[in-house]
């Protein structure tokens, strides 16, 4: 067998995983001296670069001291936990990256718990030791406490520690050491990461952990060879998730050299490879020898906790921006997504124009929507809803672990606001920098729409992270004190004159010369009821002058929404209309007389 080490890098979002991989790639000689290398080279997706987060797991390979080190960069956000769970089956150890300033965060606990349950022995990497006010030694103590809390065994508790500054490209085994390279981390990987198990002499067994599509060679499947070897043009059997066996032939085989795929004729047990030529292959399925068919254990993925209805855009402006607007286009795109994203589910509805998509959280669903709008889709979506379960006759709901870092001035406000949303304070720790860390257990439904309110109440200074914890008994009704909407009464172009008259009524979402349609939400009412308003009213011009009435109109800036904030903001009877160029909020029922009929009908049915 080759000398191979397979590792994944796991951490909370923004603790420096991708930057660390950059440093390892650069210092291993993977890139030639004349090559220009971008920062965060592993973030290949436009959205990843814009947001500075990893969304999709990536493979890279580094050669060091005669070893081939396969590195997988994993997402740090809880919504993409499905990616992390399946990647852990491909590796023999993990680098647990922890920020020397922020310390242990919710996602750190989540990914570490997964790694320990897989029987992996992590190497702890304390990153950003160059950051002012960091306390690496105290962070190591907190990490040890976390290992104990999660039930680590004696071997796992003896974890090695490496201190790094990935941004500056150096690592140390002790804080007292002098170092200007990543060599101590390379040496720790070779020393502590177990060699891959498996026997090259046995019959072939490989499991697919990731799929993608290439327009030249077709569907690609990436996974680890557990036993035997795989060769180009070899006839094999694909064992589907339901146990069905299908014969197929291997087209091409790729291994990794740095970030590049290199085509090879044969690969052996222990290596991570990508194969082409099998169109019907999906995640979790086994590639087996045709004469000795043996299935590997299926990958268990956490169930989705949120659902959202995707539907055809039915607004008066439908079809203006997008290339893909029909239900067939939308269904094909959603089916493609769930095929390579195992933590998502797709369900049909009674309507041919609406589909239910279930996922791990708002961010995961909003990333899908953002990718779709960039691909040219037009779509309307409902407010996210939590997925309940019934067990032993009791209604259960998803509970999240919430960590909040907030200025001491806003602690009382945050506790009060989350308390009304059924949040339970479990820990409060005052820091030395004027900030306090609060930890809560809160229902997922209580957090929908909270980040908007949280940013407002903390004046943009608070930081909130949350991750799924478990299902618990239903916590009761949450009384939401939400403002009503200002709704356009007619289609047309908005005028500054009309908007100026509406300013006392609430906060506006539109500006002069914006096009609006009847039923579109153009602002937030200052009271709790909805109000139908005329934004297209212009000033009647006369040749008479009136004192004071010809002053310049001064409008407050319109409130603009990101996709995530728009999804959180809408109510149950509202939709977000998403096109390549616009985000609009609207009522599900556009015409006011139809909305009145619906309300009257609902009132009669309640009686």
Tell me if 16 is assigned to a ligand binding site. Answer: yes
Q: Of 486, 489, 466, 490, which is closest to residue 558 (Cα–Cα)?
A: 486
pLDDT of residue 482: 73
Stretch 491-506: mean pLDDT: 90
Q: For residues 179 and 58, state if they share a domain.
A: yes
Task: Please identify, among 413, 447, 473, the residue that sits at the C-terminal boundary of a domain.
Answer: 473
pLDDT of residue 548: 54
Pairing of strands 123-127, 93-99: parallel
Position 421 in a domain: yes
pLDDT digits (tens, 9 = 90+) for 323-365: 999 999 999 999 888 877 777 889 999 989 999 999 877 877 8
Q: For residues 175 and 237, state if they share a domain.
A: no
Q: At what angle do helices 17-27 and 183-192 cross, to 10 degrees?
A: 100
For residue 294, is pLDDT > 50? yes
Tell me if 17 is assigned to a ligand binding site. Answer: yes
Tell me if 128 is assigned to a ligand binding site. Answer: yes
Position 159 in a domain: yes
Q: Of 286, 211, 290, 258, which is closest to residue 32 (Cα–Cα)?
A: 258
Q: For residues 188 and 210, state if they share a domain.
A: no
Tell me if 181 is assigned to a ligand binding site. Answer: no
In this prediction, residue 521 has a pLDDT band, given cuts at 50, 70 and 90, of very high
pLDDT digits (tens, 9 = 90+) for 17-66: 778 888 888 877 655 444 444 444 444 455 544 544 544 456 788 888 88
Q: Of 209, 250, 206, 184, which is closest to residue 56 (Cα–Cα)?
A: 209
Three-class SS of residue 469? strand
Q: Of 550, 484, 551, 555, which is closest to residue 514 (Cα–Cα)?
A: 555
pTM above 0.85, yes or no: no
Tell me if 118 is assigned to a ligand binding site. Answer: no
Q: Is residue 22 within 8 Å of 62, Cβ to Cβ? A: no
Better-scored residue on pLDDT, 299 or 163? 163
Write the CATH number for 463.
Answer: 3.30.70.240
Tell me if 18 is assigned to a ligand binding site. Answer: yes
| Lowest mean pLDDT, pick from 49-63, 216-230, 482-496 | 49-63
Position 268 in a domain: yes
Q: For residues 495 and 462, state if they share a domain.
A: no
pLDDT digits (tens, 9 = 90+) for 442-456: 998 888 878 778 888
297-330 b/e (C-beta count within 10 Å ≥ 16 → b): eebebeebbbbbbbbbbebebeeebbebbeeebb
Tell me if 15 is assigned to a ligand binding site. Answer: yes
Q: For residues 409 and 498, state if they share a domain.
A: no
**Rounded mean pLDDT of the chain?**
83
CA distance linking residue 150 with residue 326, whole number of Å: 48
Q: For residues 514 and 456, state if they share a domain.
A: no
Position 200 in a domain: no
In this prediction, residue 209 has a pLDDT band, given cuts at 50, 70 and 90, of confident
pLDDT digits (tens, 9 = 90+) for 373-404: 989 999 999 988 888 988 888 899 988 888 88
What is the tally of structural domains in the chain? 4
Q: For residues 146 and 45, state if they share a domain.
A: yes
Q: Is residue 169 within 8 Å of 26, Cβ to Cβ? A: yes
Position 374 in a domain: no
Distance separating the N- and C-terminal Cα atoms of the chain: 75
**Structural domain that includes position 561:** 485-542+550-570+584-606
Q: Of 345, 336, 390, 392, which is closest to residue 365 (Cα–Cα)?
A: 345
Q: For residues 122 and 254, state if they share a domain.
A: no
Tell me if 130 is assigned to a ligand binding site. Answer: yes
Write the CATH number for 161.
Answer: 3.40.50.300
Highest mean pLDDT among 9-18, 539-548, 563-572: 563-572
Write the CATH number for 556.
Answer: 2.40.50.250
């Amino acid at each position: 067998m080759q000398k191979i080490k397979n590792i994944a890098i796991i951490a909370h979002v923004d603790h420096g995983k991708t930057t660390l991989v950059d440093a390892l790639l650069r210092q291993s000689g993977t890139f030639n001296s004349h090559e220009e290398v971008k920062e965060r080279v592993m973030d290949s997706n436009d959205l990843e670069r814009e947001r500075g987060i990893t969304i999709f797991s990536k493979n890279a390979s580094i050669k060091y001291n005669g070893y081939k080190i396969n590195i997988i960069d994993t997402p740090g956000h809880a919504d993409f936990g499905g990616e992390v769970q399946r990647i852990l089956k491909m590796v023999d150890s993990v680098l647990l990256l922890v920020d020397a300033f922020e310390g242990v965060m919710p996602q750190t606990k989540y990914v570490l718990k997964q790694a320990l349950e897989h029987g992996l022995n992590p190497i702890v990497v304390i990153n950003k030791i160059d950051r002012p006010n960091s306390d690496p030694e105290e962070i190591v103590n907190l990490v040890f406490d976390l290992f104990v809390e999660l039930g680590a065994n004696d071997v796992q508790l003896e974890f090695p520690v490496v201190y790094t500054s990935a941004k500056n490209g150096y690592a140390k085994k002790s804080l007292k050491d002098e170092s200007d390279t990543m060599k101590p981390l390379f040496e720790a990987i070779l020393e502590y990461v177990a060699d891959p198990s498996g026997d090259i002499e046995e019959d072939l067994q490989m499991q697919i952990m990731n799929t993608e599509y290439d327009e030249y060679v077709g569907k690609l499947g990436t996974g680890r060879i557990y036993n035997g070897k795989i060769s180009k043009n070899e006839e094999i059997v694909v064992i589907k998730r339901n146990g069905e066996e299908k014969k197929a032939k291997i087209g091409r085989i790729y291994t990794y050299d740095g970030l590049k795929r290199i085509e090879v004729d044969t690969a052996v047990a222990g290596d991570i490879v990508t194969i082409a030529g099998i169109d019907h292959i999906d995640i979790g399925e086994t590639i087996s020898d045709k004469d000795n068919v043996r299935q590997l254990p299926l990958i268990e993925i956490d169930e989705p906790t949120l659902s959202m209805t995707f539907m055809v855009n039915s607004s008066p402006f439908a079809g203006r921006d997008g290339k893909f607007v029909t239900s067939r286009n939308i269904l094909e795109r959603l089916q493609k997504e769930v095929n390579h994203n195992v933590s998502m589910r797709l369900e049909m509805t009674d309507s041919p124009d609406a589909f239910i998509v279930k996922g791990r959280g708002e961010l995961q669903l909003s990333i899908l929507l953002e990718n779709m709008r960039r691909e040219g889709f037009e779509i309307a979506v409902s407010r996210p809803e939590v997925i309940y379960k019934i067990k032993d006759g009791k209604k259960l709901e998803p509970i999240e672990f919430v960590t909040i870092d907030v200025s001491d001035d806003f602690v009382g406000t945050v506790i009060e606001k989350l308390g009304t949303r059924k949040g339970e304070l479990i820990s409060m720790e005052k820091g030395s920098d004027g900030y306090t860390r609060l930890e809560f257990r809160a229902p997922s439904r209580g957090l929908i729409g909270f980040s908007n309110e949280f940013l407002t109440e903390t004046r943009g200074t608070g930081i909130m992270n949350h991750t799924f914890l478990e299902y618990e008994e239903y916590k009761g009704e949450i009384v939401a004190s939400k403002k009503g909407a200002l709704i356009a009464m007619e289609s047309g172009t908005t005028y500054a004159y009309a908007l100026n008259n509406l300013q006392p009524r609430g906060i506006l979402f539109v500006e002069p010369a914006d096009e609006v349609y009847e039923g579109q939400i153009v602002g937030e009412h200052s009271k709790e009821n909805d109000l139908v308003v005329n934004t297209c009213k212009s000033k009647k011009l006369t040749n008479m002058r009136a004192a004071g009435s010809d002053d310049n109109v001064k409008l407050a800036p319109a409130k603009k929404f990101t996709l995530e904030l728009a999804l959180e903001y809408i109510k149950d009877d509202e939709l977000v209309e998403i096109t390549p160029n616009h985000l609009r909020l609207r009522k599900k029922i556009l015409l006011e007389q139809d909305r009145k009929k619906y309300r009257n009908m609902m009132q009669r049915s309640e009686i």
